[in-house]
Amino acid sequence: MGQRPTRRFPVLLGIGLLACSGGCPAGAAERVMLGDASLTAGIPGTGPITVEEVERFLADPKNSVELSPELPLGLSQGTKQITGLDTNPLTRAKIELGRQLYFDPRLSADATLSCASCHDPSQGYGANTRTGLGIRGQQGGRNSPVSFNRILSGAQFWDGRADSLEAQAVGPIANPIEMGFTHEGVVERLKGIPAYEKQFQKVFGGVSIDAVGKAIAAFERVIVTGPSPYDYGEQLRPFADLDEDDIQEDEELAKKYAEAKAAAATYAMSESAQRGREIFFSSKGNCTACHVGANLSDEKFHNLGVGMDKPEPDVGRFAVTKDPKDTGAFKTPTVRNVAYTAPYMHDGSLATLEEVVEWYDKGGHANPNLSDKIKPLKLTDQEKADLVAFMRACTGPTPAVETGRLPAQP
Ligand code: HEC
Ligand code: HEC
């Protein structure tokens, strides 16, 4: 072998050393692996968060240190795709403030709904209803997408109308059929809660709607999916091209190989899921024409014909670009943890992953703007089952999150 085999494994062996970890010198960012539950564990204590607890938390300098995040195995392929940190750097204090706001129903007019009502950690950070259920039981027109892995995503909403996570986060508060409040109203209310006021003061210099958006976005950016059986399988893949003897000659590589092999065995993909992976990635299924990259989404907009048979179809991306070609096009959702977030599609019209696969198999629904990447697939029943098994193997852990601890009402 002409080349040292380690060169072929930049992702496995390359470790960025730009930031420090633990006991950082002043001014240096702290390196942190996203998924680390200490980021989302909440201010220590029980019951409503008191002003004294907030003061103690904010007085600890480590909570104000800028964080330099690393992505877990799988998502780490998308490190270059990380967005938003230049204008809204992460700190533990900001993430914690965002966590509280995310779970706090006081952000809605009648204090009944929080972000988590429609993006619930126990429902895969989506909601298992067909469309979002807003204030006073009002029904929205679209299915709640997931709020994780947003650190790899720029434009938000099914039609991409918010160009950042910060802009997105304040939208629902003032949406009459979501949280039904006003931005002025929410700022006044938060100013009246001393445990919030203190945190906004320290992190942003005061309460503002802009700060609310930044804090919530910071929290969302640390909610990422950890390695799934699919990712452990991918980690083992490059070794398949190498000669076993060559691997064993290189001590470090041999160690990596042994680790990758053990992990892939512990979090094994079924044979069906492995076959499904081949269909997903090859021209047979053509799924990676759109579900590509670390988060299995191209972040682009496509028309699959979903809902296009209705008398007045949702125009989707057209509302943003006014380009007729974008009529009925919606943003490619991630396939990560998709097993948790039925029903599917922008209108929640497909109940199961099996139904989604049938949709693709029949070539979507014919309409003038159907994507040219959508064609009948003519899969066998086994192949359809394999695709579903593969998508189920794209399920990884999300970090443990404190949901109950919120600032005390004075
Ligand atoms: C009443 C249910 C409901 C509430 C409450 C709600 N959302 Fe949503 N959320 C939705 C729906 C439905 C969409 C998709 C709307 C669209 O695309 O037009 C959405 C879209 C999003 C997206 C875009 C995801 C993507 O892939 O583009 C994010 C992020 C998000 N919400 C976060 C939040 C945050 C943060 C809050 C609290 C401030 C919140 N949501 C409150 C239902 C809700
Ligand atoms: C042309 C791009 C494209 C191709 C090819 C494609 N998808 Fe999609 N996928 C999308 C878009 C866009 C949506 C959302 C469509 C909508 O709601 O109108 C979607 C939705 C989904 C959903 C629902 C996710 C959710 O959270 O609602 C799943 C699951 C899915 N696709 C799996 C697949 C599989 C499996 C294949 C291959 C057989 C595939 N996709 C091929 C673009 C594509």
pLDDT (tens digit, 9 = 90+) per residue, 124-174? 999 999 998 888 889 888 999 999 999 999 999 999 999 999 999 999 999
Q: Separation of 169 CA from ligand 1 center, angstroms? A: 8
Ligand 2 pocket residue status of 346, Cβ below 6 Å: yes
How do residues 264-295 score in pLDDT, each as one tens digit? 999 999 999 999 999 999 999 999 999 999 99
Ligand 1 pocket residue status of 216, Cβ below 6 Å: yes
Lowest mean pLDDT among 12-21, 63-72, 313-322, 340-349: 12-21
Q: Give pLDDT, residue 23.
A: 58
Q: Separation of 310 CA from ligand 2 center, angstroms? A: 19
Ligand 1 pocket residue status of 113, Cβ below 6 Å: yes
pLDDT score of 3 more than 60? no
Q: Whose CA is nearest to atom 15 of ligand 1?
A: 157
Other beta carbons within 10 angstroms of residue 281's beta carbon come to 15
How do residues 323-356 score in pLDDT, each as one tens digit? 999 999 999 999 999 999 999 999 999 999 999 9
pLDDT score of 391 more than 70? yes
- What percentage of residues in the chain have a pLDDT greater than 90? 89
Q: Separation of 21 CA from ligand 1 center, angstroms? A: 34
- Number of the ligand closest to the Cα of 302: 2
Cα distance between residue 22 and residue 53, in whole Å: 23
pLDDT score of 16 more than 90? no
Ligand 2 pocket residue status of 403, Cβ below 6 Å: no
If you average pLDDT over residues 204-209, what whole number do you get? Answer: 98
Instruction: State the pLDDT confidence band at 297, using cuts at 50, 70 and 90.
Output: very high
- What percentage of residues in the chain have a pLDDT greater than 70? 93
Q: Give pLDDT, residue 9.
A: 34
Q: Give pLDDT, residue 135.
A: 86
CA angle 72, 77, 82 (to 5 degrees): 80
How do residues 216-275 score in pLDDT, each as one tens digit? 999 999 999 999 999 999 999 999 889 989 999 999 999 999 999 999 999 999 999 999
Q: Which atom of ligand 2 is nearest to the CA of 353?
A: 29
* 249: Cβ contacts below 8 Å, ≥ 6 apart: none
pLDDT score of 31 more than 50? yes
Ligand 2 pocket residue status of 306, Cβ below 6 Å: yes
Q: Give pLDDT, residue 362.
A: 97
pLDDT score of 18 more than 80? no
Q: Give pLDDT, residue 25.
A: 63
Q: Whose CA is nearest to atom 5 of ligand 1?
A: 115
How do residues 81-100 score in pLDDT, each as one tens digit? 999 999 999 999 999 999 99
Cα distance between residue 186 and residue 178, in whole Å: 14
Cα distance between residue 325 and residue 328, in whole Å: 9
Q: Whose CA is nearest to atom 40 of ligand 2?
A: 287
**Closest by Cα among 127, 95, 117 to 172:** 117
Torsion on CA atoms 377, 383, 385, 388, rounded to nearest 10: -60
Cα distance between residue 391 and residue 276, in whole Å: 8
* 251: Cβ contacts below 8 Å, ≥ 6 apart: none
pLDDT score of 389 more than 70? yes
Q: Give pLDDT, residue 22.
A: 58
Q: Separation of 290 CA from ligand 1 center, angstroms? A: 22
Q: Which atom of ligand 2 is nearest to the CA of 390?
A: 35
If you average pLDDT over residues 58-73, what whole number do you get? Answer: 97
Token pair recorded at residue 133:
């259920």
Cis, bond preceding 368 (omega within 30 deg of 0): no
- Number of the ligand closest to the Cα of 177: 1
Q: Which atom of ligand 2 is nearest to the CA of 158?
A: 17
Ligand 2 pocket residue status of 348, Cβ below 6 Å: no
For a pocket test of ligand 1, which of 83, 113, 115 has the largest count of ligand atoms closer than 8 A to its C-beta?
A: 115
> Is the CB of residue 373 less than 8 Å from the CB of residue 302?
yes
Q: Give pLDDT, residue 2.
A: 33
Q: Give pLDDT, residue 29.
A: 87
- Number of the ligand closest to the Cα of 223: 1
Question: Over the chain, what is the mean pLDDT?
Answer: 93
Q: Separation of 172 CA from ligand 1 center, angstroms? A: 7
Instruction: State the pLDDT confidence band at 26, using cuts at 50, 70 and 90.
Output: low
Q: Give pLDDT, residue 133.
A: 85
Q: Separation of 259 CA from ligand 2 center, angstroms? A: 33
Q: Separation of 82 CA from ligand 1 center, angstroms? A: 20
Ligand 1 pocket residue status of 350, Cβ below 6 Å: no
Q: Separation of 228 CA from ligand 1 center, angstroms? A: 25
Lowest mean pLDDT among 8-17, 37-46, 60-69, 316-325: 8-17
Residue with tokens 């990712």: 231
For a pocket test of ligand 1, which of 112, 168, 221 has the largest count of ligand atoms closer than 8 A to its C-beta?
A: 168
Ligand 2 pocket residue status of 101, Cβ below 6 Å: no
How do residues 357-377 score in pLDDT, each as one tens digit? 999 999 999 999 999 999 999
Cα distance between residue 357 and residue 380, in whole Å: 11
